[in-house]
Structure formats: structure tokens, C-alpha cells
Amino acid sequence: MTEDEMDERTREALRGYRVPPEPPLDEMWDAIEARHFGAPVVALTDRAPARGRSSRRWRLGAPSWGVLVVGMAATLLLGVGVGRMSRTIAPTYTQNDSGDGRYDYWTANAEPYRRATTEYLGETVALLTALPAAARDGQPDAGVLVAHSGSPRKCERSEQFRGVFMRRPPSW
Amino acid sequence: MPRAAIARDETVTLDERALIARVLEGDRVAGRQLYEAHATRVHRLVYRLCGDAELAQDFTQDTFVRAFDQLSRFRGDAAFGTWIHRIAVTVTLNGMRKVKRLRERETTLDDDPGIGTVSHRADPDLRSGIAAAIDALPEGTRMTLIMHDIEGYTHAEIAESLGIAEGTSKSRLFDARGKLRLALAAFVKE
């Protein structure tokens, strides 16, 4: 073998020394990107050509300070708005019976509740007073109620009660 | 050097400077472009040096992560490619020293009594015989041979990457070729 042939065979052998495989470029870049730049970028769109805002890429897990500040400001404004709106909707009375000069919602708004309670109690008294008289006149519904007036649950379970109140009228 | 080639080199340098500036600002797209421009060649060199696909992948990743981390120190005196190849060589050498199974490949040629008398019968394949001879070369000599004769680096690039003088690179290459000839002689005799 001549000198040139030896050189050629050596070069040929050198070219075959540890022939590298195809480098996994994407896989390696993912690791490099995560290690150096932080969280990986997730594309909300596929790899279509860029078209305005729809092609924007968003970084997950690391919102900017601007986004955080805007979010907090929006939450604060929403809270203030809800508070003011609820103040206009809720019935408020300027008179305060607490006497110590402080405004108390429940004291200031007790009057409507007292008025409604008095009205319903009055109607109940009138009904209970009128029922015995109606029973004496032979009205069956009134008789059932009077007979079980001491026990509402017993009244509810009785056959008579069902016959009077639970039966569906023919007109339904 | 032809004028067109010079202009192209300047364009590449300007582009790389712009990319580097963007990477320093945290632009990962620019980082990807810089990576794609050099990753394949870095991976080739690293694989030739370590001979293991997984290690080559790890070392290539380490190389780019370290390069991006230290990018602010890149002064631009040399080409970015030269700079990152120097990092690749350093990362690979340090990594290989940590890997136990690769230590056997780092034995010097002088320490291996059988390398100069590789038997054709013992190792009939010339290619594997050459590979064994390369593996047995001293570390610096082997790297110089791989970078120059296999990957096509110039002595200037090798000197920059390995941190040696160009004359040292040339003498190492001469030494490596001489030892390979000795190994090859065993095949030629028969």
C-alpha cells in the first residue's frame, strides 16, 4: 500500500469515527428554554402564519406586573361599585332609635317588621275567634280545625283533614 | 478572502450581535434562532468527543444554557461560534471526567502497550482499529485530531476553543497522525 492509499484509508476511517446521530433539536431546545428562560411558552394558536392579535403567544405561570396591577384595580373598582349599588337598593331609614348617635341598620329598619308582625297576629286572632262560631253553624272545615287546634301535626295527619284540604278540587 | 465571503461574514456577525442583544433582553425567539444556528455543529463535536448520544444531548444542553447565562460576558472579540464551541469543549471535558464509564477511554496512548501493534487478526476491521487508536490518544491530542481532521476546524479555531497556541494545535495534530499511522501499519503489513 502506497503512502497516498494509506492516507486515503485513514481519512475514510476517520470519517466513520463516532458518526453523530441526528440531533433532537426540539427536545434539547425545550430543556434549554425551560432552564434559561423559565416556564415554557404555550402557543394558543397553532403554527399558522401570524395574523394580528390571534397569533399572540402567552406565557403561562408568569403574568407581568402590568396584568397584575390592572387585575387588582379592576377587582377594587368592582367591589366599590357593588357596595354603592347595594346601599341604594337596601331600604334604609334615617331615623335611628339606638339613641347613642350611631347608625344601626337593624334598629333603623325594625319598624316595617314590627308592622307586618302585628298585622299577621291580628288576622290570626280574628280567625281563631271566628272559627268556633263557624263550627257551631255546621261548616265542616271549621270543625276539623277547631278539633285539632291544639296539635297542628295531628290535624295534618288526620283523615278528616285530608278529606278537607288535600283532595284536589274537580276544577283543577 | 473573496469580497462576497467577507460581506457574508460581516452580515452573519451583525445578525448574531442583534440576536445576542435580544437574548440578553429575554427574547426567547432570538435565543432559539441563535441556538438553531449553532446547535447541530455543537452537537456533532460533542458527540465525537464523548461518543454517547445521551451524554451528547446533555452536554449540548448544558453548553447552551451556560452560554445564555454568560452571554453578557461575551465581548465579541471572537465569533460567537468559536466562543460557544469553547464552552462546549469545556462542558464536555468536565462532564466526561464525571462519567465513570468514559474514563477508560481517556487512557493515554503511551500507557497502552498494545496500540502500536494492533493485530489484524485481533481486530480485523480497520475502522474499529482506527477508532480504538483515536480513543487511546491523550485527551488534548485526540480533541485536536477530531476537531481538525474530522470536523474541519482550523488551527486558529482549535487554539481558541482549547485555549492553546496554534503551534501547539499543529504539533498535537502531527503527533496524533503519527500514532494513527503506527496503528494502521499493523493492517498494512499483512
Q: What is the pLDDT of residue B167?
A: 95
What is the three-class DSSP state of B79? coil
pLDDT at B129: 78
Q: How far apart are CA A147 and CA A144, in angstroms?
A: 5
pLDDT at B27 over 50: yes
Name chain A contacts of B51, Cβ cutoff 8 Å. Answer: 18
pLDDT score of B118: 39
Give every CB contact of residue A43 below 8 A, 6+ residues apart in sequence: A57
Name the least confident of A78-82, A155-159, B19-23, B115-119. B115-119
Residue A27 pLDDT more than 70? yes
Residue B64: per-residue pLDDT: 95
Q: How far apart are CA B73 and CA B31, in angstroms?
A: 16
Tell me the pLDDT band of B2, cut-offs 50, 70 and 90: very low
* C-alpha cell, A145: 280545625
Calculate how close chain B gets to A74, using CA atoms only, in Å. 29
**Cα A33–chain centre separation:** 38
Give chain A positions within 8 Å (CB) of B129. Answer: 13
Q: What pLDDT was estimated at residue A84?
A: 82
Residues A31, B61: C-beta atoms closer than 8 Å: yes
Is B126 a residue whose pLDDT tops 80?
A: no
Note whether A10 contacts B181, CB cutoff 8 Å. yes
User: Picking from A6-10, A33-37, A147-151, which range would have the lowest pLDDT averaged per residue?
Assistant: A147-151
pLDDT digits (tens, 9 = 90+) for A53-87: 444 444 455 667 888 889 999 999 999 888 888 77
Chain centroid to Cα B178, Å, comes to 20
Q: Do B180 and A10 touch (CB under 8 A)?
A: yes
Q: Which of A62-66, A139-143, B20-24 has the lowest mean pLDDT?
A: A139-143
pLDDT at B61 over 90: yes
B17 touches chain A (CB under 8 A): no
Q: Which residue in B188, B190, B178 sits closest to B133, CA to CA?
A: B178
Flag whether pLDDT at A139 surpasses 80: no
CB B111 within 8 A of CB B69: no
Any chain B CB within 8 A of the CB of A33?
A: yes
Q: What is the pLDDT of residue B120?
A: 40
Three-state secondary structure call for residue A44: coil
Chain B residues within an 8 Å CB radius of A41: 28
What percent of chain B clears pLDDT 90, i.e. is strictly above it?
41
Instruction: Kindly calculate the radius of gyration of chain B based on its CA atoms and give it in whole angstroms.
Output: 19
Nearest-CA distance from B87 to chain A in Å?
15
- For chain A positions 58-97, those within 8 Å of chain B (CB to CB) are none
Give the DSSP letter of residue B111. T
Smallest Cα–Cα separation from A107: which of A92, A87, A88? Answer: A92
Beta-ladder partners of A43:
A57
pLDDT, average across residues B133-148 = 90
Question: Which H/E stretch holds residue A119?
Answer: helix A110-136
pLDDT at A65 (0 to 100): 81
Q: How far apart are CA B16 and CA B12, in angstroms?
A: 6
Statement: residue A98 has pLDDT above 90: no
Which pLDDT does position B62 carry in this prediction? 95
Listing DSSP states for A12-23 in one string gives HHHHTTTPPPPP
**3-class SS of residue A145:** helix
Residue A6: count of CB within 10 angstroms of its CB: 16
Q: How far apart are CA A158 and CA A93, in angstroms?
A: 47
Residue B186 CB neighbour total at 10 angstroms: 21
Task: Provide the residue count of chain B.
Answer: 190
Q: Residue B169: is its pLDDT beyond 90?
A: yes
Q: What is the mean pLDDT of chain A?
A: 70
Predicted pLDDT at B105: 54
Percent residues over pLDDT 90 in chain A:
13
**Residue where the block lists cell 399558522:** A48
Contact list in B for residue A6 (CB cut-off 8 A) is: 181, 184, 188
Please tell me the predicted confidence (pLDDT) of residue B96. Answer: 87
3-state secondary structure of A39: coil
DSSP class of residue A45 equals S
> Cβ distance B74 to B85 under 8 Å?
no
Q: Report the distance separating Cα B186 and Cα B114, nearest Å.
A: 11
| Average pLDDT for chain B | 80
**Is A29's CB within 8 Å of B39's CB?**
yes
Say whether pLDDT at B114 is over 80. Answer: no
Cα-Cα-Cα-Cα dihedral sign, residues B101, B134, B161, B54: negative
Range with lowest mean pLDDT among A21-30, B3-12, B22-31: B3-12
Alpha helix locations (H) across chain B?
A: 3-24, 28-50, 53-69, 80-98, 100-103, 126-135, 139-145, 155-162, 166-189
Q: What is the pTM of this model?
A: 0.54
Residue A10 cell numbers, joined: 485513514
Tens digits of residue pLDDT in B176-190: 988 888 877 776 655
Q: Which range is least confidently modeled, B26-30, B43-47, B53-57?
A: B26-30
**H or E stretch including A58?**
strand A57-59
Judged against a pLDDT cut of 70, whether residue A151 lies above it is answered with no
pLDDT of residue B122 exceeding 60: no
B150 contacts A15 by C-beta, under 8 angstroms:
yes
Residue A12 to chain B, least CA–CA distance (Å): 8
For A7, nearest residue in chain B (alpha carbons): B181
